[in-house]
């Protein structure tokens, strides 16, 4: 390998560094359109709209000219996984550079054709005009080989001050189809001759199939094939309801060996398990004492993605190739795991993305893809659509891990924090496909020759996994942060919106309020005095102003308000939240104010939409959500067992953007999760003088806290 001593600044932006061919990102069509082929995918977050804006901006074309091709392993750039609020940084900055470079290539062609120098050219909606007269369009200039080259470092994107499309709230490119009932999701795809499949899952993660007589199911109406491979059990039928009926029969007649019983469902059980412990931040002397010492313990339970649509995929074995349509967040890593599970070459699997319902992390999209492939292999040539049943989605999707956070601090006699300690216990937050040394797909573990799962892990710091946002952004002279990682989880855990950032920010921001009270300080002022970062201070000041926060304000025994803050991953969006609650029988979050700084906002309304969504989802997590399981398996299997926030309960939300066009754009989707939970806990304390440290804040927890 050639030695490189180039500084970091000389690399290409975002995912372009590892996908340098221009033609993999973009195609200028002769019909006056531009096809964009990002490797990142739409998961409900509106990313495609923002990417369209970034490309239109650099190419100087109308946004209506842009066509988006679905990501496919057949030709899209490999951008890994659409996760971590990184799509603007990775895909957006790559496409911005590609578009800038393509524009300059086209201008060179135009200059030649028109016989003028580059300085004499201007572009308007793809028409290149020479000052001296004469013009030519991109659509005339584009040739098949023009973009058949690698990106260079030469292209220069526009300055923020020159932006006319970026920074505006372009309407979402996908909304029309979704509100007019068009086929918008993989669930809606109908291929000629398509059959329907269903999977009959074990009663729990440790159960194994002892015996089953498949004959009676094979003879049911419409049944085309029944597939058993070890403990993997599925059925293919002509009609969807026939597949469901056959699956129910399979579930009734299958004899399962329950396996080892599951342990108690208590986050504090984490404290008793062997852990890999690592000090991830240490400053000064962690033994420093002040005038007063404090400690507190916080927990969160397992929570579910609970996407509205159960996962779905279509697979078709055709000749030697396997064609797949899936709402996976990472088609390339999935392809690798699929190849291992099926024992075929990666190049024989063509995976194309098709949107699913809202995706908030590693849900069952990848798992259902292998299910569909296994059934499709039983009926060669036929496309097989497999959709999970709602109950299976709830039982078998990977969950956000339960966590425990123990915080301690010392205050000096001025009421300043002089020492800070944070220990956290959690399972790993990433068990996605693409892990090393195993296959992370449910069906693969159930096969007669089961494939082991890859070792569960965490994304590394600074972003982190369970330790995401565990290192405070506040400036303390002495601090120690320790991550206790318990890799294996009794029920499957993986990436859910903000990973450990939710629980860590909840704990930090709750504890800061507890310390502010001990220091007889206002929570807003107390935060500001421990922060150096001007952008952090700005969002806190802004949200206080929006909510007309009164220094030292106190609730009235029923109503109260509280604040929460975090910078997502300590390196991305700044979010400050104030929540107003009303506590009667249950906690009702009535209003939320939010100030946010995502750097340059590519699409301000899109950012606000994401923030509002994150806020409401976190209100739901905080007040209502907890996955439960018994000795055998998950018991929260319907919307009645696992209620989420309803339209009757939804708070009013007001979001203000502090737009910083000069600062790099960062993602908006996840940063509110922790601050919202803390703001609610702090508001409840403000209202009732009771501190809730265990989520969710259900009626039972409130009653218990009040009577304690």
**Which positions touch another protein (CB under 8 A)?**
43-46, 169, 171-172, 174-176, 178-185, 187-188, 190, 221, 239-241, 244, 306-310, 355-360, 387, 389-390, 605-606, 609-610, 612-617, 620, 638-640, 644-648, 650, 652-653
Minimal distance, residue 466 CB to another protein, in Å: 24
In the complex with another protein, which residue's Cβ is closer, 461 or 678? 678
Comparing C-alpha atoms, which of 258, 243, 253 is closest to residue 211? 253
Structural contact between residues 60 and 103, judged by C-beta atoms closer than 8 angstroms = yes
- Beta strands 384-387 and 195-199, pairing class: parallel
Minimal distance, residue 168 CB to another protein, in Å: 13
Minimal distance, residue 390 CB to another protein, in Å: 4
Minimal distance, residue 51 CB to another protein, in Å: 16
Residue 676, sorted as left (phi over 0), alpha (psi -120 to 50) or beta, turns out to be: alpha
Q: Which residues contact 610 (CB under 8 A, 6 or more apart)?
A: 45, 46, 668, 669
Comparing C-alpha atoms, which of 132, 149, 170, 133 is closest to residue 26? 149
Q: d(Cα 468, Cα 446) in Å, to the nearest integer?
A: 32
Assign 3-state DSSP to the chain and report helix, strand, coil percentages, each to 5.
30, 25, 45
Minimal distance, residue 430 CB to another protein, in Å: 22
In the complex with another protein, which residue's Cβ is closer, 489 or 618? 618
In the complex with another protein, which residue's Cβ is closer, 172 or 569? 172
Q: d(Cα 594, Cα 675) in Å, to the nearest integer?
A: 10
Q: Cα angle at 452 between 447 and 456, to 5 degrees?
A: 135
In the complex with another protein, which residue's Cβ is closer, 20 or 390? 390
In the complex with another protein, which residue's Cβ is closer, 183 or 704? 183
In the complex with another protein, which residue's Cβ is closer, 356 or 435? 356
Side-chain half-sphere CA neighbours of 14 within 13 A: 28
Q: Count CB-CB contacts under 10 A for residue 152.
A: 13
In the complex with another protein, which residue's Cβ is closer, 46 or 197? 46
Comparing C-alpha atoms, which of 619, 622, 601, 542 is closest to residue 575? 542
Minimal distance, residue 619 CB to another protein, in Å: 8
Minimal distance, residue 676 CB to another protein, in Å: 10
In the complex with another protein, which residue's Cβ is closer, 388 or 549? 388
Minimal distance, residue 53 CB to another protein, in Å: 14
- Beta strands 587-597 and 652-657, pairing class: parallel
In the complex with another protein, which residue's Cβ is closer, 308 or 706? 308
Minimal distance, residue 480 CB to another protein, in Å: 36
In the complex with another protein, which residue's Cβ is closer, 231 or 620? 620
In the complex with another protein, which residue's Cβ is closer, 305 or 691? 305
Q: Cα angle at 603 between 601 and 604, to 5 degrees?
A: 70
Minimal distance, residue 330 CB to another protein, in Å: 18
Q: d(Cα 23, Cα 10) in Å, to the nearest integer?
A: 21
Minimal distance, residue 436 CB to another protein, in Å: 31
Write out the two tokens for 670: 């996840």
Side-chain half-sphere CA neighbours of 663 within 13 A: 15
Minimal distance, residue 179 CB to another protein, in Å: 5
In the complex with another protein, which residue's Cβ is closer, 318 or 654? 654
Residue 589 phi, psi dihedral angles, 5° rounding: -90, 115
Structural contact between residues 397 and 380, judged by C-beta atoms closer than 8 angstroms = no
Q: d(Cα 297, Cα 419) in Å, to the nearest integer?
A: 17
**Can you name the residues that pair with 564 across neighbouring β-strands?**
577
Minimal distance, residue 50 CB to another protein, in Å: 13
Cα–Cα distances in angstroms (integers) from residue 340 to residues 230, 353, 434, 441, in the given order:
17, 20, 11, 10
End-to-end CA distance of the chain: 66
In the complex with another protein, which residue's Cβ is closer, 80 or 613? 613
């Amino acid at each position: 390998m050639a030695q490189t001593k180039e500084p970091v600044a000389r690399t290409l932006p975002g995912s372009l560094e590892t996908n340098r061919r221009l033609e993999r990102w973009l195609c200028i069509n002769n019909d006056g359109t531009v096809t964009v082929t990002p490797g990142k995918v739409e998961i409900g977050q509106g990313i495609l709209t923002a990417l369209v804006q970034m490309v239109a901006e650099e190419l100087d074309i109308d946004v209506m000219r842009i066509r988006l091709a679905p990501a496919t392993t057949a030709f899209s750039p490999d951008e890994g996984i659409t996760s971590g609020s990184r799509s603007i940084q990775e895909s957006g900055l790559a496409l911005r550079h590609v578009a800038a470079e393509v524009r300059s290539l086209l201008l060179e062609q135009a200059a030649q054709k028109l016989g003028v120098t580059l300085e004499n050219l201007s572009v308007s909606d793809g028409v290149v005009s020479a000052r001296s007269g004469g013009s030519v369009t991109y659509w005339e200039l584009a040739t098949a080989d023009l973009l058949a080259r690698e990106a260079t470092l030469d292209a220069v994107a526009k300055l923020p001050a020159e932006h006319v499309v970026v920074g505006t709230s372009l309407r979402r490119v996908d909304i029309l189809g979704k509100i007019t009932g068009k086929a918008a999701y993989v669930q809606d795809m109908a291929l000629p001759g398509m059959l329907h499949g269903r999977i009959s899952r074990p009663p729990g993660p440790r159960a194994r199939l002892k015996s089953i007589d498949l004959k009676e199911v094979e003879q049911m109406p419409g049944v085309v094939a029944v597939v058993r491979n070890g403990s993997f059990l599925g059925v293919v039928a002509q009609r969807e309801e026939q597949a469901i009926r056959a699956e129910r029969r399979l579930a009734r007649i299958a004899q399962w060996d329950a396996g080892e019983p599951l342990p108690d469902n208590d986050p504090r059980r984490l404290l008793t398990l062997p852990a890999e412990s690592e000090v991830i931040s240490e400053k000064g002397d962690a033994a420093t004492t002040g005038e007063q010492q404090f400690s507190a313990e916080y927990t969160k339970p397992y929570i579910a993605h609970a996407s509205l649509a159960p996962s779905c995929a279509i697979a078709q074995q055709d000749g030697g190739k396997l064609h797949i349509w899936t709402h996976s967040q990472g088609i390339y890593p999935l392809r690798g795991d699929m190849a291992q599970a099926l024992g075929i070459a990666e190049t024989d699997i063509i995976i194309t993305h098709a949107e699913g319902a809202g995706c908030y992390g590693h849900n069952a999209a990848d798992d259902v893809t292998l299910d569909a492939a296994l059934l499709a292999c039983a009926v060669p040539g036929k496309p097989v659509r497999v959709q999970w049943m709602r109950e299976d989605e709830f039982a078998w999707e990977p969950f956000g891990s339960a966590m425990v956070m123990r915080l301690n601090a010392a205050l000096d006699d001025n009421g300043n924090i002089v020492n800070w300690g944070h220990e956290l216990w959690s399972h790993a937050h990433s068990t996605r496909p693409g892990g090393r040394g195993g296959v992370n797909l449910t069906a693969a573990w159930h096969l007669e020759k089961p494939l082991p799962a890859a070792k569960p892990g965490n994304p590394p710091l600074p972003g982190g996994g369970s330790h995401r946002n565990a290192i405070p952004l506040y400036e303390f002279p002495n601090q120690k942060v320790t991550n206790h990682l318990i890799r294996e989880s009794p029920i499957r855990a993986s990436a859910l919106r903000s990973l450990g950032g939710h629980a860590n920010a909840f704990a930090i921001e709750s504890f800061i309020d507890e310390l502010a009270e001990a220091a007889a300080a206002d929570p807003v002022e107390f935060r500001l005095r421990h922060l150096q970062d001007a952008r952090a201070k700005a969002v806190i000041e802004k949200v206080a102003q929006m909510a007309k926060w009164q220094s030292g304000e106190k609730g009235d025994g029923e109503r109260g308000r509280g604040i929460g803050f975090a910078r997502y991953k300590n390196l991305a969006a700044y979010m400050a939240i104030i929540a107003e609650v009303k506590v009667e029988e249950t906690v009702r979050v009535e209003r939320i104010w939010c100030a946010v700084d995502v750097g340059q906002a590519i699409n301000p309304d899109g950012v606000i939409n994401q923030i509002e969504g994150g806020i409401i989802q976190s209100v739901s997590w905080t007040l209502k959500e907890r996955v439960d399981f018994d000795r055998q398996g998950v018991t929260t299997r319907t919307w009645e067992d696992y209620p989420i926030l309803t339209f009757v309960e939804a708070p009013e939300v007001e979001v203000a953007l502090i737009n910083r066009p000069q600062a790099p754009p960062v993602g908006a989707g996840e940063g509110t999760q922790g601050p919202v939970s803390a703001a609610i806990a702090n508001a409840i304390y403000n209202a009732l003088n009771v501190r809730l440290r265990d989520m969710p804040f259900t009626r039972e927890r409130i009653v218990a806290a009040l009577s304690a």
